[in-house]
Structure 1
Amino acid sequence: MVKTIKKITSNNFLDILKNQGADPFFKAMFSSTAPPFYHDVLKFVRDMNIAGMSPNTILAYSYDIRHFLKYFTDHHPALDSWSQFTPEVLKEFFANGFNNLSNSSKSRKRASINRLFTYIVKDLNILTENPLDKQSAIRTKKANNRETNLPVHLTVDESLRLIDVIVNRGLDENNRWKAWMKTRDIAMFSILLSTGLRVTEFCEMKMNDARAILSEKQYKLVGKGNKERVIPFNKSALGRMEQYLKVRPRPEGEHDYVWLSRTHQPLQRHDVYQILKTYQELADINKKLSPHKLRHSFATHLLQNETDLRTIQVLLGHANIATTQIYTHVEDARKITAVEKLPEY
């Protein structure tokens, strides 16, 4: 069952919801959860599904909460009620259960745990207060280095270098990397860098979406949190997509996804990540990259071109402009560095 869970992605989770219902996934995901917590957690994730949260969000919360509860199953098997999750017990988890995770991953997991406890308080009425609300619950320590929390992104030069290595890459001898895949990869990274699409939004694009994009020069989609937004496609992105659609294989089957893997299956997030890692090495870009970092790059490049924050917020689909303001720190750090390099007059 665990092997099946590891293969579940936002794309095939949609198929599971449509064809099998959510319960098989939820029960498999939390099959090892201790009985005192099992049914409450099931209610929590089911209600997220009923509320219309995106599959990707439900998956992220599910994995985070499973990790959280597994820690206590392994280290505190006698724990048998929500009331025993005191600030002191949570301190231990935050100190020892987050090993080898980045600050952004820690923050996301903390947000998932916080949402679970909020549900237990407000929806299930099991607790009267959220233990994470108490000041004694530990928070992520922030490093003194002022650039620690800046989003990793590609410079314009690195972005162009990434595209260039794809354009100039030759086909391999065993022909596993075919000509149509080269056209796909050029289009994929050109579009991600010039639109700021989330990788899940990109992978879920259907052929009807692609035809509408070519016709209207923009992508109308319902993104994270069921929010509608319109993403303009510039001339380059439109041209790259049009070139890909001309050579895109037309596999037999029911799916109608635009972006296909080598085996003609819908491209998944982890596929995009692996492809990016290949080109990152070829382009000699020594940064901790992921497809989401291309979204950071898009926002940063807009800011460097003096685009106002409100426009960037709308393009990214951020609910709160405070989320968008993190990109201003990139420019702040650049200014500070520039001043620090001045001679000592």
Structure 2
Amino acid sequence: MENTSGNILNEFFEEIYSEGAARSTVEAYRKDLTYFFKWYEEVNDQLQDPEQITSIDLREYQNFLQNEKELKPATINRRMAALEKYLKWVKQAGYISRLPNFPKTIREQKVPPKSLGRTEQNRLLREAEKRCNTRDFALLRLLMSCGLRVSEAVAIRLMDLDIGERHGQVIVRGKGNKWREVPIPPDARKALREWLAYRELLPAYTNSPWLFPSRNGEYISARYAEQVVKNLGQFAGLNIHPHILRHTAATNMIRSGADLVTVAQVLGHSNLNTTAIYTKPGNYSVNHVAVAGAINL
């Protein structure tokens, strides 16, 4: 029988079961590994192959679980431990020639997530105003003002948007097929109206249902949005990613006097304890970086 990835995986499950693992434990491993394989195949556009998994993949997957899925450290560490056990077994069984390096386990966060201070926000917006096209500037404003996850922001449909001179909200479809209504502050509304007006002049986007369409007919990818934010951060001397903008929006709301229930609703948190982390004192600023040279946005 050919040693396909599926056969190797089944052999791994049979091995740990024969060593005394309960069926529930085997199923837990199967579930945790399936999460990784699904992510790997979507990101790399190829079926998972143990030989092709690198330390970069492992680090990016951990970042995805932490920053995009917003899972608890214990859950992330468990999924990574299952993956490490599997790859060590595959190496020991002789199916792969090397074992990739695993990232460090994630510790429980005791301080508020890092966010941008007022000066840093202004510095970032100044660079965005100088360098961004209309669409990307509206995207940045939406991320910074509304606290959306980057995956939520790029997937907004025109039908989800209700915006005018004095009002604005967007229906956001978040994790677990849950949806919520998020208010849009004035500065973000202004940027969105400018983008919508310009968007109407672009024939390629006329029939697109997406707020932020791409040239291939879909919406812009989360990775594209991440790169836009990262590049702007470099110009502003900041080491940032879109989730820092989400933390910034949450911190701004708390500092302006919004109550925890309201902030939790805006962010899509099901547990107020998750939101309460923003009320703790701590270092809010992000690490600075040297301003990069020419970066294409």
**What TM-score comes out, normalization by structure 2 length?**
0.61
State the match for 2:38 in structure 1: 62
Partners of 1:156 and 1:301 within 8 A in 2: no
Give the match for residue 184 of structure 2.
233
Tell me the residue number matched to 1:110.
77
Correspondences of 1:192-231 after superposition (within 5 Å): 192-210=143-161, 212-214=162-164, 217-231=168-182
Distance 2:115 2:189 in 1: 23
Within the candidate set 225, 228, 231, 1:278 is matched to 231
Structure 1, unaligned runs of 5 or more: 1-29, 49-57, 75-96, 117-138, 170-180, 335-345
Matches within 5 A, 1:238-277: 238-248=189-199, 249-251=202-204, 255-261=208-214, 265-277=218-230
Q: Distance in 1 between matches of 2:36 and 2:114?
A: 21
For the residue of structure 1 that corresponds to 2:171, the secondary structure is strand
Residue in structure 2 matching 1:309, options 260, 271, 277: 260
Deviation at 1:269, TM superposition (A): 0.6
1:251 maps to a residue whose letter is A
CA, structure 1 residues 236+110, in 2 after alignment: closer, same or farther (shift >3 Å)? same
RMSD, matched Cα = 4.3
Contact 2:158 2:209 in 1 (8 A): yes
Q: Return the offset for 1:306.
A: 2.6
Please list the CA deviations of residues 191-211 of structure 1 after superposition, one character each: whole Å capped at 9, or x if unmatched.
11111111111111112223x
Tell me the residue number matched to 2:115.
153
Identity %: 26
Residue 258 of structure 1: how far off its partner (Å): 1.5
Match of 1:54?
Answer: none
Q: Match for residue 167 of structure 1?
A: 129
Distance 2:196 2:254 in 1: 31
Whether the 8 Å contact between 1:222 and 1:229 is mirrored in structure 2 is: yes
Deviation at 1:150, TM superposition (A): 3.7
Structure 2 unpaired stretches of 5+ = 15-25, 42-47, 52-57, 84-103, 285-297
State the partner residue of 1:34.
Answer: 9
Aligned partner of 2:38: which letter?
A: S
Q: Which has the higher contact order (CA 8 A, sep 6+)?
A: 2
Distance 1:325 1:154 in 2: 18
Residue 316 of structure 1 deviates from its aligned partner by 0.7
Q: Give the aligned length.
A: 227
The whole-number CA distance in structure 2 between the counterparts of 1:183 and 1:112 is: 40
Could you give the per-residue CA deviations for residues 6-62 of structure 1, whole angstroms, max 9, x where no partner exists? xxxxxxxxxxxxxxxxxxxxxxxx657522468987x976xx9xxxxxxxxx96683
Give the conservation status (yes or no) of the 8 Å contact 2:204–2:215: no
Query: Is the 8 Å Cα contact of residues 62 and 80 (structure 2) preserved in structure 1?
Result: no
Alpha-carbon distance between aligned partners in 2 of 1:142 and 1:221, rounded to the nearest angstrom: 30
Q: 1:268 to 1:99 in 2, by over 3 A?
A: closer
Preserved contact between residue 156 and residue 172 of structure 2 (Cα < 8 Å): no
AA matched with 2:138: A
* 2:154 is the alignment partner of 1:187: no
1:64/1:321 CA distance change after superposition, 3 Å: farther
Q: TM-score, normalization: structure 1?
A: 0.53
